[in-house]
Structure 1
């Protein structure tokens, strides 16, 4: 059996050499959308990055959260404002949180911050659907699998009923021997503890694990594995692909009101 080159499988910037242009496009499109559709800031913690950009859809009702990627060590929510466009066009509210980054904090701290952000959004009293990309896909699955009454006795167990993880990472162990781990500083114990694949499956919830059609085999394996493992445990889990997309273009459909991605999130939000 051939040994897997995890560095090649997970180093998306090396796999997609045009990534600087694509990420510059994110920032440009995000700034343009904020100019057209200003966000309301929601603070969930004491740090400068502990904030949520809330893009109103103009109606009361569900909130779809989008958690950005960057391998827990890069970017913030401001580069992804345009990802609210598709759902906003259907009157659905979108919340885009930022969080502190490794190596200043640990992956576990980021998970705790996203729980704090989710708890803050729960104050709106609306159904929550969690989506995310890459590291954000990991965090979306973590939020879905969180025991919310254990976090806060006033929160319902079904605080989040669905997650839509784009190019998510659910088992972090393969990253330990890669350059990505220089900032993460994961050992085997920390990687397993932060991997939702090994948490109790959120019975009764829905998980969509999707990947870009042109992504690495490891990204396919990550999503297919969590679906295979969670589905028999009572999760409505499904695997899907985003046509012709690489790791960086997989989020583009979020800006298109008529894309299959937006239509699926609209359905998950009950609209």
Structure 2
């Protein structure tokens, strides 16, 4: 849980360097093609698993959940997509349900309103509303409402950490997440997010000194941008200091996009993290 040796202090960086240090799409050559492949394969997956798509949990257009059933009365992992809270959609991530489903784990993918249409306060509230809805509906969908864990990639890792306070969530897997919003607030990403200092602090998991005693597994790719690796390492250290159950793992060779292969594969490290988390609850 130590800070990566090559991670700079964002406070000492110029704004152009900070912007570059947070830009995953630029850092990973071919990332657009990679996401395009996710979208195509996810469309095929949704066509084959179409029984419970776009379940509406709220009034906003993106307030919908896709539920993929793996077994009767099975546990469920709620997956929250990334995109720096201002792009992408749940529909692009359906294929990643395949890994957990191989092991009898239901997967629910949640959509949420993007910035600037929604503030970060509003996005976090939507995730909590979606969890309420999912827990109510799970008995009729075929899932166990007492065994729900959250997982998310990138901005979804942040929202996973923010979901840990919900009484229905029993644990979380954060994948390449953002846990301190202050560097985000000082970067190009804040043009759409519109964070002020107060909103940044109340929505930064690393600045919260009280949290429910629930396990979290935190992972990041060893080939990711240093600032992203530092976010995960620092948050793992924060949880450890406050006596909160946590594990930390860097996946060798994985960048910000290829790390998701570890959830796609039935034997992938992230699939294993989800399985191990569910075994603890």
Q: What TM-score do you get using the length of structure 2 for normalisation?
A: 0.88
Gaps of 5+ in 1: 149-156
State the Cα deviation string for residues 164-212 of structure 1 (Å, max 9, x = none).
Answer: 0001001101012221111111122221121111123434211111101
Structure 2: distance between partners of 1:199 and 1:113: 20
- The residue number in structure 2 matching 1:248 is 257
Aligned with 2:95 (options 82, 91, 100):
82
Q: Give the number of aligned pairs.
A: 260
Structure 1: distance between partners of 2:135 and 2:209: 22
> Structure 1 residue 259: deviation in Å?
1.2
Aligned with 1:239 (options 248, 257, 262):
248
- The residue number in structure 2 matching 1:34 is 46
Q: Do the aligned partners of 1:202 and 1:234 also contact (CA within 8 Å) in 2?
A: no
Q: What TM-score do you get using the length of structure 1 for normalisation?
A: 0.91
CA RMSD in angstroms, aligned pairs only: 1.6
Aligned with 2:74 (options 61, 68, 86):
61
Q: Do the aligned partners of 2:262 and 2:270 also contact (CA within 8 Å) in 1?
A: yes
Structure 1: distance between partners of 2:186 and 2:269: 36
Structure 2: distance between partners of 1:190 and 1:101: 16
- Name the SS for the 2:67 alignment partner: strand
Of residues 228-237 and 1-10 in structure 1, the stretch that sits farther from structure 2 once superposed is 1-10
- The residue number in structure 2 matching 1:50 is 63
> Structure 1 residue 253: deviation in Å?
1.7
Of residues 96-105 and 236-245 in structure 1, the stretch that sits farther from structure 2 once superposed is 236-245
1:198 and 2:211 are equivalent in the alignment: no
Structure 2: distance between partners of 1:134 and 1:54: 21
Query: Hey, which bits of structure 1, 4+ residues long, moved more than 4 A?
Result: none
Q: Do the aligned partners of 2:217 and 2:273 also contact (CA within 8 Å) in 1?
A: no
1:111 and 2:131 are equivalent in the alignment: no
Q: Do the aligned partners of 2:19 and 2:187 also contact (CA within 8 Å) in 1?
A: yes
Gaps of 5+ in 2: 1-7, 139-144
- Name the SS for the 1:210 alignment partner: strand
